[in-house]
A and B are shown apart, each in its own frame.
Chain A
């Protein structure tokens, strides 16, 4: 409706407003990125201080990544295993994270509950995120190792020492727990800001109409929060797929076995080991594709489209 006259004279402003972002992105990210992706078709790595390549090898790096008998894989398709590990640890952390955050956001923004000391709680939940992940992992390692306080408590109650970091389930759980503790505060803040952006008169109107809190939550909060929920889901997924430092430090590069090794830890093996631009380029293209596919899936299942929320707003 109002779109018509807007588009006539103001189009150039659109370009002007987005120009800084694109210029900076192209200079600092896109140019190096293109070369990285190009190298995925090359043999290109370092041995000590020598450089091997770049020699064009076509799709060899990709083929090697999917060939169970290649030097990269030794009997399985590693990248799929690591993608699986990553997804498992992400979901283990993300589900409680989302539930907690949603509950907290509703509690904080609820006019009915009128929670006291909000400033305190809101500050406190963000604290874990301020501790560097490396320090976080170090602390948890000290806490849960065989002679740490947790095991001291277990043995003092007559239990057997639990080797948390020797077992897949407990090691993954601890990784997920750290991610959960570190990030639920952020998610809460995001959702809270989203809820606060909702037109308060809607809540007032609903209250006057005698809606219950659940009705308000399902009929007003959730639909209007959808854009932010999509944001939370997508960025959580992307962040989860890029999980690296917590498992790297906590599980000593993915132990037990490689059961806590994530995609980015895999990528890191090739970058930090031999600066292998070829294989790491190929891995990153694949991680990118995996991320893209999963993101589209999330978009679709969450009924994405910015228009939807607009419509619902207009409908009011």
Chain B
């Protein structure tokens, strides 16, 4: 962010303009912050309220039930096991998805080969196919291979993520000059090493971005996991939340809304941590960008 500096020769009027722009920017940022935190606030409020209070209607003010809701949500080992399962799946699948998408994008960007154009067009086309469609047959396949109740079908397919590829491709197009690759070759680096040690670091901002998105999407994924995981010990968080939620919604006595919202809130925390951890690298990319020029 602060790597470039506008020259020291700013005029007075330019300075006032900058100050005005800065003030307006902060006002805008304040507004955006409000919008962004509002849903989270609602979630937080609800996780402090009891089932009865939530049933009685919505309120903007917190109540006293936070500890009790937490206690209920954490009762038994279900939630913690679920968080761990989700973490394993989301971490593995987002890493695979980013690494192989970057690799594919690199392959198409750097090399010239007969099927290059076809490969690119093909991926662009499959990106437009509604994902729901292949999902149906995919689950059939999982059972045929006997992979139900394992994490593999949730992890391995992330290697082929057209949208992640597309982003990587767009990114390398504007930020990975072929001259750098050439230079590495002259230095005697083999192709894999060039990719891993030179290209990949230059793609860090793009990888960081997609890593976060892929992690979040995997973390919140309900549909496929719900069809292939049915042992209590390997369920992921969205399945647990769905269980709790549908219990309440169907009028059963087994769960309460306060606990449901608390669980949803707890489920967000690991993603926030991952986000804060990874988002550093989006910033770090700037330095690298400056180097390559």
- A contacts B directly (C-beta below 8 A): yes
Could you list which residues of chain A lie within 8 angstroms of chain B, going by C-beta atoms?
2-3, 6-7, 10-18, 20-22, 24-25, 28-33, 35-36, 100, 103-104, 107-109, 111-115, 118-119, 121-136, 139-140, 142-143, 145, 147-149, 181, 184-186, 189-190, 192-194, 196-204, 207-208, 213, 224-225, 227-228, 230-231, 234-235, 238, 241-242, 244, 264, 267-268, 271, 277, 280-281, 284, 287-288, 291-292, 295, 306, 309-310, 313
Question: Pick the contact of A309 from B174, B268, B289 — CB < 8 Å?
Answer: B174
Of the A-B pairs whose beta carbons lie under 8 Å apart in the complex, a sample of 23, sorted by A's number, is A28-B160, A29-B134, A30-B134, A35-B137, A104-B32, A113-B21, A126-B279, A130-B268, A131-B268, A135-B261, A148-B57, A196-B283, A197-B206, A197-B289, A199-B289, A200-B289, A213-B21, A242-B130, A267-B130, A291-B128, A291-B130, A306-B173, A310-B173
Q: Which of B230-284 contact A (CB under 8 A)?
A: 238, 241, 245, 261, 264, 267-268, 271-272, 275-276, 279, 282-283
A-side interface mostly: helix
* Further contacts, 14 of them, CB under 8 A, given A28-B153, A228-B170: A10-B191, A12-B113, A13-B107, A18-B103, A33-B129, A121-B29, A127-B37, A127-B272, A149-B58, A181-B38, A197-B206, A199-B289, A268-B132, A288-B130
Nearest A residue to B135 via CB reads A32
Specify which chain B residues have a CB less than 8 angstroms from the CB of A238 in the assembled complex: 127-128, 163
* A207 close to B166 (CB less than 8 A): no
B150 on the A face (CB < 8 A): no
Specify which chain B residues have a CB less than 8 angstroms from the CB of A198 in the assembled complex: 174-175, 289
Q: Which of A15, A139, A197 has the most CB of B within 10 A?
A: A197
Q: Which of B6, B26, B33, B292 has the most CB of A within 10 A?
A: B6
* B113 close to A14 (CB less than 8 A): yes
Specify which chain A residues have a CB less than 8 angstroms from the CB of B187 in the assembled complex: none
Give min CB distance, A17 to chain B, whole Å: 3
Q: Give CA–CA (A190, B100) in the complex, Å.
A: 19
Q: Give CA–CA (A241, B130) in the complex, Å.
A: 9
Give min CB distance, A198 to chain B, whole Å: 7
Question: Pick the contact of A25 from B21, B32, B126, B285 — CB < 8 Å?
Answer: B126
Give min CB distance, A23 to chain B, whole Å: 8
* B174 close to A181 (CB less than 8 A): no
Specify which chain A residues have a CB less than 8 angstroms from the CB of B32 in the assembled complex: 100, 104, 121, 124-125, 184
* B245 close to A134 (CB less than 8 A): yes
State how many residues of chain B have any CB contact under 8 Å with chain A.
111
Specify which chain A residues have a CB less than 8 angstroms from the CB of B123 in the assembled complex: 21
Give min CB distance, B24 to chain A, whole Å: 9
Could you list which residues of chain B lie within 8 angstroms of chain A, going by C-beta atoms?
1-7, 18, 21-22, 25-26, 28-29, 32-33, 35-40, 42-43, 46, 57-60, 100-101, 103-104, 106-108, 110-116, 119, 123-134, 136-138, 140-141, 153, 156-157, 159-160, 163, 165-167, 169-171, 173-175, 177-179, 182, 191, 195, 205-206, 208-209, 212-213, 216, 220, 222, 238, 241, 245, 261, 264, 267-268, 271-272, 275-276, 279, 282-283, 285-286, 289-290, 292-293
B-side interface mostly: helix
Q: Give CA–CA (A103, B21) in the complex, Å.
A: 12
* A25 close to B160 (CB less than 8 A): yes
* A189 close to B212 (CB less than 8 A): yes
Q: Give CA–CA (A201, B293) in the complex, Å.
A: 7
Question: Pick the contact of B174 from A24, A132, A264, A313 — CB < 8 Å?
Answer: A313
Give min CB distance, B159 to chain A, whole Å: 4
* B157 close to A121 (CB less than 8 A): no
Give min CB distance, A49 to chain B, whole Å: 17
Contacts A10-B111, A132-B264, A193-B206; A21 near B58 (Cβ below 8 A): no
Q: Give CA–CA (A285, B13) in the complex, Å.
A: 59
Query: Between A and B, how many residue pairs show CB distances below 8 Å?
Result: 325
* A14 close to B29 (CB less than 8 A): no
Question: Pick the contact of A13 from B21, B127, B191 — CB < 8 Å?
Answer: B191
Contacts A189-B209, A306-B173; A292 near B134 (Cβ below 8 A): no
Question: Pick the contact of B290 from A2, A124, A140, A201 — CB < 8 Å?
Answer: A201
* A11 close to B37 (CB less than 8 A): no
